[in-house]
Amino acid sequence: MRTYIRQRVPGGTYFFTVNLAERRNNDLLIRYVHILREACRYAQQRHPFEISAMVILPEHLHCIWRLPEGDDDFPLRWRLLKTHFSRHIPKGEHISSSRQPKGERGIWQRRYWEHLIRDDVDFQRHADYIHYNPVKHGYVERPLDWQYSSFHRWVKSGLYPPDWAAPSDLLELSRRET
C-alpha cells in the first residue's frame, strides 16, 4: 500500500480539486457562485494567493493557486474559503451523524486533492485539464461556452485561442476517467 505524503513547498504552485459533500444532483457552487467568489476574495485578503486557473462546476471545482514566497499554508486558505461560503448560504443540506456533534455544516467534503505543480509542462497540463473539465462532464461543447472558468481570462490574455480544444492526450485521459 502506498502512503500519501502531503508535499508543502513555501511559495509553491498547487493544483486542487475540491468537492461538495453531496455531489449527486447538487448545484450549490454555481447557484451561489457570487458567494463562492466572495469567499475567494475573503481568503485572499487575509492570506494572499494568486488564482492562476479555475473552473467552478455545479458540485466541485478545480484550481491552480500560487502561494507567496515563504508561505506554504494552503490548508488555512481552504478553511477560510470553505467556512466563509458555508456561513453565507442558506441552511438545508443533509448533515451526517459524524458532523452533527461538532456543529459542522454538510456542505464540503472534509478533504480535497492537492498536487504540487513541478514545472511549466505540469502547469500547462493541469490548466488544460481545468479548462476542458466542463466539456468532459458534458455541460458544454466548447470551453468558451462555460461561464464559470478562467478560460475567458486566458483567452483575453492570449494564452488560448477562443476556439481552443484540449490536446489529444488530455482527451484520451478524460475518456478513461469517465
Spell out the alpha helix ranges (H) of the chain: 28-31, 33-46, 74-87, 120-136, 151-156, 168-177
Rounded distance between C-alpha atoms, residue 12 and residue 77, angstroms: 14
* Residue 20 near residue 50 (C-beta atoms within 8 A): no
User: Is 139 part of the annotated catalytic residue set?
Assistant: no
Catalytic position from the list 14, 129, 132, 148: 148
Question: Which uninterrupted H or E stretch holds 51?
Answer: strand 50-56
Place of cell 505543480: 117
At residue 159's C-alpha, the angle toward residues 172 and 66, to 5°, is: 85
Task: Give the residue numbers marked as catalytic.
Answer: 148
